[in-house]
A and B are shown apart, each in its own frame.
Chain A
Amino acid sequence: MKRIFEHPAPSERELNGPKYWRSLDELAATPGFVDQLKREFPQGAAELDGVDRRHFMKIMAASFALGGVGLAGCRRPELNILPFGKSVEGIIPGLPQYYATAMPLRKSAIPLLAETHQGRPTKLEGNPSYLPHGSASSLLAQASILDLYDPDRATAHTKGASVLTSAAVNELLANVGKNYAASQGAGLAFLADQSSSPTRARILKKLRRALPKAIWAEYEPVTDEPPLAAAQAAFGADVKPIYRFAQAKRILSLDADFFHAESGSLYYAREFAKGRRVTKATDPMNRLYVAESAFTLTGSMADHRLRLATSHMLALAAAIGGKALGTDILKPFTEGLEAFVSQKWVDECAQDLVDHKGESLVVAGAHLPPQVHAIAYAINALLGNIGKTIDFVAVEASSAATLSDLAGAVKTGAVKTLVILGGNPVYNAPVDLDWAKLQASVADVIRLGYAADETSALAGTNLASAHYLESWGDARTADGTVVPVQPMILPLFGGITQLEVLARIAGEANPDGYALVSETIAALAGGDAEKAMRRFLHDGLLEGSAFKKVPVSFDQRGAQVLFRDEPKKVEAFSLKNLEVRFVTDHKMDDGRFNNNGWLQECPDPITKISWDNAILVSPKLGKELGIAPQGSALQIARVEENDFSIGKENGRVYELTVGGRKIKGPLHIQPGLSNYTVVVPLGYGRVATGHVGKGAGFNAYPIRTVANQDVATGGTLVDTGTRLLLANTQEHWSMEGRDIVREANFDEYQKNPGYVDDIGTESHSPAIYGAQNTPTNDNKLSREDRAKLNATRAKDIPRGGSMYSTPKFDGQHQWGMSIDLNTCIGCNACVVACQAENNIPIVGKDQVMRGREMHWIRLDRYYSDGKAEGGAFGGEGNREIPEDPQVSLQPVACAQCELAPCEVVCPVNATVHDEEGLNTMAYNRCIGTRYCANNCPYKVRRFNFFDFNLRQLDSLYLGQLGPKGMPELVKMVKNPEVTVRMRGVMEKCTYCVQRIQNGKIQHKVAMAQAGRPGDVVVPDGTIKTACQQVCPVEAIEFGNIDDPTSKVSRAKALEQDYSLLGYLNIRPRTTYLGKLRNPNPKMPDYQALPLSRVEYNSKNHPPSDHGHGAHGHDSHAPAAPKTEKKHSVIDAGKTFGGLS
């Protein structure tokens, strides 16, 4: 039955592709790299249009395409295929392409590989050819791609109310140069953010030669590099330290958050993990001492953590330095410290460093005064760490003026034209400069900005900046390696780059990015410019361009210059005189990512608050402010200090006053803070920002002055009596003495590497693989045999004597994952990487407060203080939020249980297992009973309560009445390999099944074409999940556990491998490696057992019976069912004992 259908001709839009697409001829002006561009920007939009409609159809899919109802009788909506007009070499529709680029941030860039689909970047990965990072990248890098498609970004160049064409802009810029040529630039001033771009430096030199009188100022609200002054004093050279954490066995951090806030943190985290990871009892393990005022991820990793006000760091450094160096000259600086730190702590810590000459390391936070850094340098120098655990590299001292200098000039009216490149000074300049007024007073302000913000509001001329994924440029990584910034797509809104702006002002002959960069690279690399450039772009870095190591020797006399002025006595803080610490926010950074939905929704790793910042205060301070827990003493019913009324954190809004300046913000009681230090994260409370950032958090800059940019004193808090609901994703902070994160001290691990098997219900319930296959017996095998055993178990699913024959997993691979809790630093990068890879929507503050966040992987954060009360029914648990807790972090995603409880209860077979052990989820089959989510013990399934992909977040409750559809721009970020889910369906992690399938297919195709069609098993390591790929510390291993030699199999064969809630016999394919702590027995705050372990013992084996739970427990680990039985009965008895 043949039917002929006349279809209406497709619309113009369909033919021309989305309006963002720019056709090639606009580039005709810029020859020299047309072919280069051809590769990336095929004319005619290719199937991009098709792709976008695909997404739209995906969203609608469930409602029409399969519905039948929608289709009955009639045909599908008619679609068009729009092939390229001209053949474009290199592009294969349907296959992604990868190009090297980099994300510049202040003075260090992160090298990246951008995945593009028909010229549409959708995902960023670390560039593996830059070895210090491997394929890892940071939270911010992952999220930065969303900014490219931000509907609120600047879409045009404007002068006043009028829009400027790009020609007009060029002219305008050229004129700036010409007009000031005569005066040699007098009256012209530049204010730029920091940059490591060699090209910018090059152009800047030119510019200054041309306009010597022009002011060039740079400003960054937050510092992430140690003050050069310290190095100059200590070594008499312009050098900066590069830490080699992998070589360090003993590390002391003085208020340094080198996992996040310091430049090069990605590299440092990675290196630290190398020294932290233990795979066998004989491995060494580093020990981390942290003294800090805030609670950072670095601090959460510490083996000994000292809560100390930032203002006291100098004293502590002096004390430890004095002890370590055996000198008294620093004594005067330590006066009064004893009130805050026990002498023993100082002595033992110093001693430990001394005992590890050449393999110890002292790190000081970038925000600390030069003295502290000088002392740190001194210790490292005299302990012979230089060249081993710390290197010094030559850097150029910045010749830029400071913001204050510029402000001075503006006040005198010396500035007629002010060019602001990036940054957002009106929002984040020190308040005492009163920058807004100054900027307004300048006659002609030209601002290059990415979006309409506070600064652009006060600028006469606003130039739309290009996203770095639209720009030609270059940058240096923290270690100085030059990396390219390469465009993946034409500027969607014709934005221009800093380089172009400067070049045009400087009157460069060929002021376009590519030319500028290639000139620089040619100069740096030497040789054939074209070849050098091509190589540079291909590798994504310039070989051997890193900063040169320089030998340094500590010059005590020089250092003393820093200590000339009279040492201040350590000042005691109190409720009336609080220390206020300004910290770079984990997600907003200094506020530049404020309009990024992925970051806004990503909970802070420590406070777990999303969409807001909060004034963080210690529990002690909380009490003194009169905030005490009300209600039952029972853990289960207790009202938290962070008052959780009906599940939402009900933050009390306080007014924080420093030096007469006030800000208001919600209070959050944060364990682990120095008692009288108030921590305020920067980057929130933007007034002029996009839809996402609007109304998120409070602005802390208004109490921040030039004098105290990082820490202020004399703060006071006053209750305003009002409340603000906070979207906190984790209401409950205690592990309840449960066997969730299994921890041990390093020494216990060395005695008993299989310690995880002596914890938890499994340890005294019948072994799930049958009586003979207890974990203890398994541990008797060699690792290889254990890996083999795991492989067979994965396929056969042994039932321990069940009468049923059950289906076997007969796939050619068996996927599994291992997560190392010992190295996980909880940076949340995996959360956003997963969001980017799997088209996970954001749901907005309101929905997060209701507990409907969609993240497929989350990081659980537990505090323990060892004070949980035991007894039958779990006892009372921790009565109060601890002041100085130990932190246990745990990433949790779907564990792909072999005996998945969620599958059994789905009435329509929407979630079933595939033969390779994946717990699949067929969205188009799901009807949304939510039974699976109820029956998931990990609570990792996420339900689309609304059409998050189709509706505006502010009109979700309007239903059909609300506006429908997403802007094309927003759709462009979606990964075409993953279905976009509609409302009413359940979704969850499936180990990036799209990557697995494509990996398998590409391997099979390659093999078939290579004539080896039988070779179907994908080699280990070719398929990486998004979370694994991004992880800075390589805590996540993923692969084929059917192959006993694969990395994941080897990880799972380790003795400290355990299944979360293993006693449920659900056999998760994702297992965890237990956490280790490495405390120093000589330290005053030494804990013989990790505190979570103490709580576990007190809950499950109350002290009434065999003394120390843990050891008592080892004694009778189950061997045969018979003894198990007896054992569990005894246990019941014991718990009873606990009750009475």
Chain B
Amino acid sequence: MSKLFPKSANKLPFQIIIYLGVLVCVATAGVTYYMTPKYTRVGYAPVQPVPFSHAKHVQEVGLDCRYCHSNVDKSAHSNVPTSQTCMNCHNQIKTTSPLLAPIRESAATGKAVPWVWIHKTPDYAYFNHSIHVNRGISCVECHGKINEMDVVTHMQPLSMAFCLECHRHPEAALRDPKDVFNLDSKRLADQGEAGVKQAKALVDNWKVKPPQSCSGCHR
């Protein structure tokens, strides 16, 4: 027999078991990470047809989100501005900038500027901007500090787990209504005792009760 299995053979089974175990762990970990929106989305920063810088327009020019995204508080969609909106200013300044050529062309012909879609929920998930911004949830919660971005980057996973986190503890994410569009403002919950109390009050007075069951987002 010995010729069949050398002494070393006795270690073999254990080694196999250990290697298999490790392999399985790695595989599972890998899949669970690489298949989540955390991986597939966060950090997505495509090149746009026009290198629009939110940082410049908000921080330097001091525009409010709603100047361009004018329907964010009315509609489910937060609309991307029409070229005309851009031209409101840019027919005075930088009127000849080559970078703005697509805008001018579009404003003239009416053909759309093909902005690349960054923040996108799956088609069976119905997210509504108006209800969130009107009830104390700031843009920054899902979009990150857009106001500081030169190139818009996907900051949050926007996965179901991500949504649920907030829907389960709304008080933690609420802002004072007037701070909603001020992306540098702090959450109430991060404003110490008073803030926490105010958040609680908001939840009670406004009857904030985010849906946690399917019907909230899936139709």
Interface residues of A (CB under 8 A from B): 1-7, 9-10, 14-16, 23-24, 43-45, 47, 54-55, 57-58, 61-62, 65-66, 68, 71-76, 78-88, 92-95, 811-812, 912-916, 918, 920-925, 977-979, 990, 993-994, 996-997, 1001, 1004-1005, 1008-1009, 1013-1014, 1016
| A925: B residues at CB distance < 8 A | 214
Between A and B, how many residue pairs show CB distances below 8 Å? 211
Q: Which residue of B lies closest to A913 (CB)?
A: B213
Instruction: Report which of A14, A94, A993 forms a contact with B215, defined as CB distance below 8 A.
Output: A993
| B41: A residues at CB distance < 8 A | 75-76
Q: Which residue of A lies closest to B47 (CB)?
A: A6
Residue pair A85, B77 in contact (C-beta under 8 Å) = no
Residue pair B110, A94 in contact (C-beta under 8 Å) = no
Q: Smallest distance from the beta carbon of B212 to chain A beta carbons, Å?
A: 8
Q: Which residue of B lies closest to A23 (CB)?
A: B110
Q: Smallest distance from the beta carbon of B79 to chain A beta carbons, Å?
A: 5
State the 3 A-B residue pairs at the shortest beta-carbon distance, nearest first: A85-B110, A914-B213, A94-B77
Interface hits, B166-211 → A, CB 8 Å:
177, 205-207, 209, 211
Interface: B34 (CB within 8 A): yes
Residue pair A76, B82 in contact (C-beta under 8 Å) = no
| B206: A residues at CB distance < 8 A | 1008, 1013-1014, 1016
Given A45-B112, A86-B84, A997-B219, check contact A79 B46 (CB 8 Å): no
Given A83-B82, A923-B124, A993-B215, check contact A7 B131 (CB 8 Å): no
17 additional contacts (CB under 8 A) given A5-B45, A993-B215? A4-B46, A44-B111, A75-B40, A76-B40, A78-B46, A80-B115, A83-B113, A86-B83, A87-B84, A915-B213, A924-B124, A993-B219, A994-B219, A1001-B130, A1001-B131, A1008-B177, A1014-B207
Interface hits, B51-94 → A, CB 8 Å:
71, 73-77, 79-85
Interface: B107 (CB within 8 A): yes
Given A5-B47, A1013-B205, check contact A1004 B110 (CB 8 Å): no
> Please, how many angstroms separate the alpha-carbon atoms of A166 and B107 in the complex?
29
| B45: A residues at CB distance < 8 A | 2-5
Residue pair A58, B124 in contact (C-beta under 8 Å) = yes
| A44: B residues at CB distance < 8 A | 110-112
Interface: B126 (CB within 8 A): yes
Residue pair A65, B122 in contact (C-beta under 8 Å) = yes
Residue pair B35, A1001 in contact (C-beta under 8 Å) = no
| B40: A residues at CB distance < 8 A | 71, 74-76
Q: Which residue of A lies closest to B48 (CB)?
A: A7
Given A58-B123, A61-B123, check contact A85 B47 (CB 8 Å): no
Sample of 23 A–B contacts (CB below 8 Å): A1-B42, A7-B47, A9-B114, A10-B114, A47-B77, A58-B124, A62-B124, A65-B122, A65-B124, A75-B41, A86-B84, A94-B75, A95-B75, A912-B213, A914-B211, A915-B211, A925-B214, A978-B219, A990-B215, A993-B219, A1004-B135, A1008-B135, A1014-B207
Residue pair A1013, B135 in contact (C-beta under 8 Å) = yes
Interface: B96 (CB within 8 A): no
| B81: A residues at CB distance < 8 A | 83
Q: Which interface residue of B41, B130, B207, B216 has the most chain A CB atoms within 10 A?
A: B130
Q: Smallest distance from the beta carbon of B176 to chain A beta carbons, Å?
A: 12
Instruction: Report which of B80, B215, B218 forms a contact with A83, defined as CB distance below 8 A.
Output: B80
| A922: B residues at CB distance < 8 A | 214, 218
| B122: A residues at CB distance < 8 A | 61, 65-66, 924
Interface: B19 (CB within 8 A): no
Size range of the interface on B?
Answer: 35 or more
Given A85-B107, A994-B219, check contact A72 B35 (CB 8 Å): yes
Interface residues of B (CB under 8 A from A): 31, 34-35, 39-47, 49, 71, 73-77, 79-85, 106-107, 109-117, 120, 122-124, 126, 128, 130-131, 134-135, 151, 153, 177, 205-207, 209, 211-216, 218-219
> Please, how many angstroms separate the alpha-carbon atoms of A78 and B120 in the complex?
10
Q: Which residue of B lies closest to A72 (CB)?
A: B35
| B75: A residues at CB distance < 8 A | 92-95
Instruction: Report which of B43, B112, B120, B211 forms a contact with A15, defined as CB distance below 8 A.
Output: B112
Residue pair B44, A5 in contact (C-beta under 8 Å) = yes
Q: Smallest distance from the beta carbon of A862 to chain B beta carbons, Å?
A: 33
| B151: A residues at CB distance < 8 A | 4
Q: Smallest distance from the beta carbon of B44 to chain A beta carbons, Å?
A: 7
Residue pair A1004, B124 in contact (C-beta under 8 Å) = no
> Please, how many angstroms separate the alpha-carbon atoms of A73 and B213 in the complex?
29
Residue pair A14, B114 in contact (C-beta under 8 Å) = yes
| A924: B residues at CB distance < 8 A | 122, 124, 218
Residue pair B130, A84 in contact (C-beta under 8 Å) = no
| B74: A residues at CB distance < 8 A | 92, 95, 1005
Residue pair B79, A1004 in contact (C-beta under 8 Å) = no
| B215: A residues at CB distance < 8 A | 914, 916, 918, 920, 990, 993, 996-997
Residue pair A86, B107 in contact (C-beta under 8 Å) = yes
> Please, how many angstroms separate the alpha-carbon atoms of A925 and B207 in the complex?
29
Q: Smallest distance from the beta carbon of A1048 to chain B beta carbons, Å?
A: 18
> Please, how many angstroms separate the alpha-carbon atoms of A66 and B123 in the complex?
10
Q: Smallest distance from the beta carbon of B49 to chain A beta carbons, Å?
A: 8
Residue pair A68, B117 in contact (C-beta under 8 Å) = no
Residue pair A16, B111 in contact (C-beta under 8 Å) = yes
| A82: B residues at CB distance < 8 A | 112-115
Q: Which residue of B lies closest to A69 (CB)?
A: B35
Q: Which interface residue of A1, A5, A1008 has the most chain B CB atoms within 10 A?
A: A1008
> Please, how many angstroms separate the alpha-carbon atoms of A4 and B45 in the complex?
5
Given A95-B75, A812-B207, check contact A1008 B110 (CB 8 Å): no
| A915: B residues at CB distance < 8 A | 209, 211-213
Q: Smallest distance from the beta carbon of A944 to chain B beta carbons, Å?
A: 14
Q: Smallest distance from the beta carbon of A945 to chain B beta carbons, Å?
A: 20
| A1004: B residues at CB distance < 8 A | 131, 134-135
Q: Which residue of A lies closest to B117 (CB)?
A: A79
Residue pair B216, A997 in contact (C-beta under 8 Å) = yes
Given A3-B43, A66-B122, A923-B124, check contact A87 B82 (CB 8 Å): yes
Q: Which interface residue of B84, B112, B114, B115 has the most chain A CB atoms within 10 A?
A: B112
> Please, how many angstroms separate the alpha-carbon atoms of A923 and B126 in the complex?
13
| B106: A residues at CB distance < 8 A | 85
> Please, how many angstroms separate the alpha-carbon atoms of A5 and B106 in the complex?
23
Q: Which interface residue of B43, B47, B120, B122 has the most chain A CB atoms within 10 A?
A: B122
> Please, how many angstroms separate the alpha-carbon atoms of A47 and B113 in the complex?
12
Residue pair B214, A921 in contact (C-beta under 8 Å) = yes
| B126: A residues at CB distance < 8 A | 977, 994, 997
| A1009: B residues at CB distance < 8 A | 73, 134
> Please, how many angstroms separate the alpha-carbon atoms of A80 and B47 in the complex?
12
| A1005: B residues at CB distance < 8 A | 73-74, 130-131, 134
Q: Which residue of A lies closest to B122 (CB)?
A: A65
Residue pair A83, B79 in contact (C-beta under 8 Å) = yes
Residue pair A94, B76 in contact (C-beta under 8 Å) = yes
Q: Smallest distance from the beta carbon of A918 to chain B beta carbons, Å?
A: 5
Residue pair A1016, B207 in contact (C-beta under 8 Å) = yes
> Please, how many angstroms separate the alpha-carbon atoms of A43 and B83 in the complex?
13
Q: Which residue of A lies closest to B211 (CB)?
A: A914
Instruction: Report which of B46, B112, B128 forms a contact with A1001, defined as CB distance below 8 A.
Output: B128
> Please, how many angstroms separate the alpha-carbon atoms of A276 and B12 in the complex?
87
Residue pair B80, A81 in contact (C-beta under 8 Å) = yes
Q: Which residue of B lies closest to A68 (CB)?
A: B35
Residue pair B218, A923 in contact (C-beta under 8 Å) = yes
Q: Which residue of A lies closest to B75 (CB)?
A: A94
| A918: B residues at CB distance < 8 A | 215
| A55: B residues at CB distance < 8 A | 123
Q: Which residue of B lies closest to A43 (CB)?
A: B110
> Please, how many angstroms separate the alpha-carbon atoms of A981 and B67 in the complex?
37
> Please, how many angstroms separate the alpha-carbon atoms of A1039 and B119 in the complex?
35
Q: Smallest distance from the beta carbon of B153 to chain A beta carbons, Å?
A: 6
| A7: B residues at CB distance < 8 A | 46-47, 116
> Please, how many angstroms separate the alpha-carbon atoms of A759 and B49 in the complex?
70
Q: Smallest distance from the beta carbon of B108 to chain A beta carbons, Å?
A: 8
> Please, how many angstroms separate the alpha-carbon atoms of A54 and B85 in the complex?
25
> Please, how many angstroms separate the alpha-carbon atoms of A94 and B73 in the complex?
12
